[in-house]
Copies of this chain bind each other. A is one copy, B any other.
């Protein structure tokens, strides 16, 4: 047995399936041994009393991105990925976001460049906001190069695609082998509500929640599922917040359709009432879809428990509460003039651990599955990422399940300047974080060199493969069918 670079001793390894006590041996940045009594290595870490988890995979986060309103995220790729690392997340999949008219090749190149500062490994979803002929021609090549997932919007003025464009992109993804993730809300219901709210002078942040009716989400989720069923393309429904959406997703899964779904800690833990604060203070809790109420949170937890959701992601979208961010439109801003989003990349694991595992709602293995393994599987990063297995990258988090922490506006290391979870007490914290065998966070310090993070080209995984179940009209074996896909 060749010498090991590193041994992590006596921890309890947790995978999506099992928990067991053993040493973890690392060589060349990969896990090469899980064993009792591994021989001494160059570097040794004592993990006695700690959990040894795979590094988190955050498959939904916005980093160094310009919002539709022309406002930059608070985080660049350094601060954003550093914050991720502090929270135990060692792989991120932010977005390469096309603005209308742009070449997707250029967009991707641009984001690759921005990510040169990253301290953890990263891939990109391509946000397609303008599927021009050029872009449609570029996409298959980009997918082949490892950008194997698209992100589409069904709402937002500058981002939303029409249904026919969605169908075109689902079909393209099917042919090219890519996953398709979608922000599903009915744009018209939102626009209709906004228009009436503003016309009646209801401009405060609290009306943000009113302006995104629950029905708008459930409707768009239903429509998306129908479109995906028509062309037999796997999809991921992003940030699900309502009982109605969860039910629609569960029904599709029951029928065997490949519908994956995620929710985020804010939909498990926050409520719309946070928006209702004096002045623009509520803007700190403004994100889309908005937080709902206790009934919805119960339904979303139920979906986490019964398997409707395969992933819990952050939807990290940080904006400073100043004129560079949330307050860019000034003190008189209406709720439509305030950037949507909150930070979350760092607390995702601690929040779900404390409220999920700690409160008996989910087990340890399920926690790993939701935060690490499934995001990697759904997006083609597994088994390189998302698990602790022989040959996988040595992305490892040593987790102290008993550490208690009071969250304040200064707890996290992102550049947002406030924390929407301030005031909560969490139990369970990542104490040491490794990426490819390198310690990147230790003793509360970032030890990673700027730019050490690597781009991860991804082939589409098994999850993105069509099911073969075709709508009867598209089924060439049927009377009236024709080969259309």
Using CB atoms and an 8 Å cutoff, list the residues of chain A in contact with chain B.
Answer: 1-2, 13, 15-22, 25, 27, 32-39, 162-164, 166-168, 186-189, 191-193, 196-197, 200, 202, 206-207, 209-216, 218-219, 222-223, 226-227, 229-230, 250, 253-256, 272-273, 275-276, 302, 305-308, 360, 363, 369, 373, 382-383, 387, 389-392, 462, 468, 471-474, 479-484
Contacts and interface: CB of A to CB of B under 8 A. Distances in A.
15 contacts: A1-B35, A2-B37, A22-B391, A27-B36, A32-B35, A35-B35, A166-B188, A200-B482, A200-B484, A209-B480, A213-B473, A214-B472, A222-B223, A250-B254, A275-B480
Contacts of A222: 219, 222-223, 226
Given A34-B33, A188-B162, A482-B197, A226 B230 contact: no
Nearest to A190: B164
Contacts of A22: 390-391
Select the residue from A202, A219, A223, A480 with max chain B CB neighbours within 10 A.
A480
Most buried by B among A254, A481, A483: A254
Contacts of A38: 1
B479 A276 contact: yes
Nearest to A213: B473
A174 to B, nearest CB: 13
| Interface-centre pick from A21, A196, A210, A302 (highest chain B CB count, 10 A) | A210
A306 B480 contact: no
Given A35-B1, A164-B192, A214-B471, A480 B20 contact: no
Contacts of A302: 254-256
A213 B189 contact: no
Contacts of A230: 189, 213, 215-216
Nearest to A391: B20
A192 B485 CA distance: 11
10 residue pairs, one from A and one from B, having the closest CB atoms: A163-B188, A33-B35, A22-B390, A17-B17, A16-B17, A219-B226, A164-B188, A20-B389, A167-B192, A213-B473
A34 B390 contact: yes
A186 B223 contact: yes
Contacts of A206: 480
A218 to B, nearest CB: 7
Contact of A18 (B163, B186, B383): B383
Nearest to A4: B35
B189 A373 contact: no
Contacts of A17: 15-18, 369, 373, 387
B20 A383 contact: yes
Contacts of A382: 18
Contact of A256 (B37, B188, B305): B305
Contacts of A255: 302, 306
A261 to B, nearest CB: 14
A479 B391 contact: no
Contact of A226 (B186, B211, B483): B186
A22 B27 CA distance: 14
A149 to B, nearest CB: 20
